[in-house]
Structure 1
């Protein structure tokens, strides 16, 4: 059995501010230690339920180089660095039996929700087949495209509600209650880790009862971009057109895997500044 744990940072207990998630800011080292500890709790929970499982952990925040390799449970394999196929789901393949999303946050425009955004924050809204999706929805659908259900998510209460809307049978662990974009009432980190270990064991144990979330192609994709320059660059991609004014681009994807790859590319294009 293969399990993939995708670990983001904004949804970790105790984290509420960009200074705790940005490698260039003073509080980042504590943030990455908290992130690594929560990942270890989920690894332990998976192996409590399935001692023979192969566990892959995808570092899924920012530069994808946040988890402390020397502190990560040695029973897991770490997928680290970027760019890489499938982005936040690095390591996902047809052999993956279950996906767990740890430390995730709500989509851009969701709220109140701690550090809510979509991808790098330059994508203001992503709509696939008319449904607004953030990182939770996009990664859940990409896992489903490979046949793997998302069986657990941890983050604030808004993030947990976002997954339950898509996958009612999934286990969610709310490690904090959002007060606003940069404020929350959080569990003590040790309490959060205990709940995560129990939740991961429960989620893996009942994975057969959780169907993959899938979106069947062809799929209409619309993306509102923050930067007008990013819109100009996006229209250079074959099949991408400008629609509905200056900020929106559209594309029809043959399947969700194509849509996902396009969004990864748009996120990268959105970081390019005028020459």
Structure 2
């Protein structure tokens, strides 16, 4: 059995401010340690339920180089660094039996929600077939495209509700209650880890009851971009056009995998500044 654990940072218990998630921030090292500890709790829970499972852990925050390799449970394979195929889902393939999302956050525009955004500050909104989708929905649907169910998510209450809306049978762990973009009522980190370990074991045990999130067929996608310069760049991509409002681009994808790849490209384009 192969299992993928995708670990972000904004949804980790006790993390509530950008300085805790940014390598340039004074509290980033604490954020890294908390993130690694929660990943370890989920690894332990997965292996409590399936001792022989092959566990892959995708570092899925910012530079994808946040988890402390020397502190990570040695029984797991660590996927780190970027760019890489499937971004936050690095290591996922059609042979993966289940995915678990740890430390995830709600989509841009949600609120109250701790550090809510979608992929980057350059992306204001993503709509697939008219439905707004943040990182939770995009990653869950990409996993579903490969037949992989998302069986667990941890984060604040808004993030957990976001996954339950998409996958009602998934297990969620609310490690904090959002008060705003940079404020929360958080569980003690040790309490959060204990809950995560129990929940991960439960999620793996009942994984057969959780269906993959599938969005089939050709898909119309719209993405609202923060920077008009990014819109200019995006229109250089074949098939991408500028919408009437000037800040939105649109394209039609043959399937969800293509839509996902284009969104990842737009994230990279949003980091380019005018020359």
Residue 202 in structure 1 maps to residue 207 in structure 2 = no
Q: Secondary structure at the match of 1:40?
A: helix
Q: Which runs of 4+ in 1 moved over 6 A?
A: none
Distance 2:254 2:63 in 1: 29
Deviations 1:29-49 (A, max 9, x none): 000000000000000000000
**SS at structure 2 position matched to 1:96:** coil
SS of the aligned residue for 1:245 comes to: coil
* Equivalent residue, structure 1, for 2:99: 99
Aligned to 1:66: 66
The equivalent residue for 1:178 is 178
**What CA distance in whole angstroms lies between the structure 1 residues aligned with 2:123 and 2:175?**
26
RMSD: 0.4
With normalisation by structure 1, the TM-score equals: 1.00
Deviation by residue 1:111-158 (Cα, 9 ceiling, x = unmatched):
100000000121100000111000000000000001000000000000
Question: Could you tell me how far apart the structure 1 residues matched to 2:251 and 2:52 are?
Answer: 42
SS in structure 2 of the partner of residue 265 of structure 1:
helix
Deviation at 1:246, TM superposition (A): 1.1
Per the alignment, residue 111 of structure 2 pairs with 111
1:36-81 per-residue CA deviation (whole Å, 9 max, x = no partner) reads 0000000000000000100000000000000000000000000000
Q: Deviations over 1:228-254 (max 9, x none)?
A: 000000000000000131100000000
Count of paired positions: 275
Aligned to 1:258: 258
| 1:159 equivalent in structure 2 | 159
Alignment-derived partner of residue 42 in structure 1: 42
1:79 aligns with 2:82: no
- Tell me the secondary structure at the aligned position of residue 108 of structure 2: coil
Q: Which residue pairs with 2:137 in the alignment?
A: 137
Answering whether residue 221 of structure 2 is matched by residue 221 of structure 1, we say yes
Q: Secondary structure at the match of 2:33?
A: helix
Matched residue of 1:13: which SS? coil
| Gapped regions of structure 1 (runs ≥ 5) | none
- The equivalent residue for 1:5 is 5
Find the residue that maps to 2:184 and give its secondary structure. Answer: strand
Structure 2 unmatched runs, 5+: none
